Structure 1
Amino acid sequence: MRLFLATSLVLVLLAPTAYAAEQPKDEAVTIGPWQIEAAYKGQKFERCVMSRETSDGVNVRFTRDVDGLGLSMSSPKWKLGRGKSYPVELAAGTSLLKAEVETAGNAVSVPVKDDRFLKSLKLADGLEVRGEGSTIQVALDKSAAGLERLESCYTKNLAPAETNPFVAPSKKP
């Protein structure tokens, strides 16, 4: 009887661990070369991210959050400093957007608020990021479908949380 109770106690204590190990990890959705996923801080939804790496090793990320759409790029080769800004031209199809990119270490970011430019991002074959030193080429294959999925990811994750307090909120990319 004692063996039965001890075994039962061990099983009860290990059951939550086994259950958690069986739960599927939140995975990114792949659309062409793009990976789309929801980003959380703890259990709180923050943003959705669409990312890919260029042939030159530059990580390109479009983020959709409460502030709208943003573009960021990073490379381990870059030494940009923190808190600086640089003028750039973003060219997609026939649209040109002049902006200042903000830096943080080896990354730059810029908000994309222009609706015409956003439409061009969905239709163009490529994006050119023209800095004073060089031009970064980003292929935009499947970007229309990717940007639509990015927006739906954001909308879905803003939905009210489930009412069952014992179930973790679903994280939908």
Structure 2
Amino acid sequence: MKSRVLFLPVVLLFSAPVLAQSGGDEKSVLIGPWRIEASFTKEQKFDRCTMSRTVDNGLESRFARDQAGTSLTLTSPRWKLDNGKTYPVEFAAGSLVWKTDVTATADTVRVALTDDRFNKAIRNANRLEVRGAGATLRIPLDKSSAALARLERCYETNRNASETNPFVAPKP
């Protein structure tokens, strides 16, 4: 009986940090500075999973995983970009550099992460450099390997759970 009485406080003690990290919101998880969340449409249909963080200068980095793959969106309230314009950018993760164009709105750029080698490099790098014509942005990637794995798990779990008709075969 004593072991049962001692077991409950120990369980509560170790589960408290997990509950505190999630902020009581069961739809989001924190891994280091990254917040991972599942997004749903108004009809409560699964849409995508995202992982995001904001650094000191207000730059928000958001990785999204949906049926089209993984994308990266960068947002800053200080930016004044031309809506619909594409900008050439170099992304550097560790020693690997990937050159591509990003699509812009007024304060946001977005790029589909289509290079498999670069995507693997992001998991192992300490930071991501985004080299534009006017400046280089530096995004810390601490805990990104675990967070990206959790992002993928979020997507797979929710994608597979979205089938509500038990008489129809799951989508491949």
Work out whether the TM-score is over 0.5.
Answer: yes
Distance in structure 1 (CA, Å) of the matches to 2:34 and 2:61:
9
Matches for 1:10-21 after TM superposition, within 5 Å: none
* RMSD between superposed Cα atoms in Å: 1.6
Separation (CA, whole Å) in 2 of partners of 1:79 and 1:102: 13
Q: Which residue of 2 aligns with 1:75?
A: 76
TM-fit CA distance, 1:163: 5.4
Is 1:111 aligned with 2:73? no
Q: Which has the larger radius of gyration?
A: 1
Other-structure match for 2:143: 142
Name the residue aligned to 2:58. Answer: 57
- Name 1:3's counterpart in structure 2: none
Q: Equivalents in 1 of 2:79, 2:140: separation in Å?
A: 20
Distance 1:156 1:44, change over 3 A: same
**Residue type at the aligned position of 2:31:** I
Whether the aligned pair in 1 keeps the contact of 2:81 and 2:105 (CA below 8 Å) is yes
> For residue 32 of structure 2, what is the aligned residue in structure 1?
32
Equivalenced residues, count: 141
SS of 2:84's equivalent in the other structure is strand
Distance 2:109 2:162 in 1: 33
Separation in 1, partners of 2:90, 2:163: 43
Give the TM-score of the pair, scaled to structure 1: 0.78
8 Å contact from structure 2 (residues 46, 162) kept in 1: no
Query: Percent sequence identity over matched residues?
Result: 49
Q: CA deviation at 1:25?
A: 4.8
Alignment of 1:34-49 (within 5 A): 34-42=34-42, 43-49=44-50
Counterpart contact for 2:29–2:36, Cα < 8 Å? yes
Q: Which has the higher contact order (CA 8 A, sep 6+)?
A: 1
After TM superposition, the score normalised by the length of structure 2 is 0.78
Equivalent-residue separation in structure 1 for 2:97 and 2:82 (angstroms): 26
Q: C-alpha displacement at 1:55, in angstroms?
A: 2.1
Opposite residue 33 of structure 1, the aligned amino acid is P
Is the alpha carbon distance of 1:161 and 1:134 closer, same or farther for their aligned partners in structure 2, counting shifts above 3 Å?
Answer: closer
Is the partner of 2:142 in helix, strand or coil? coil
Give the SS at the match of 1:127.
strand
Q: Secondary structure of 2:150's partner?
A: helix
Amino acid across the alignment from 1:80: L
**2:131 pairs with 1:130:** yes
In the alignment, what sits opposite 2:159? 158
State the one-letter code of the partner of 1:144. S
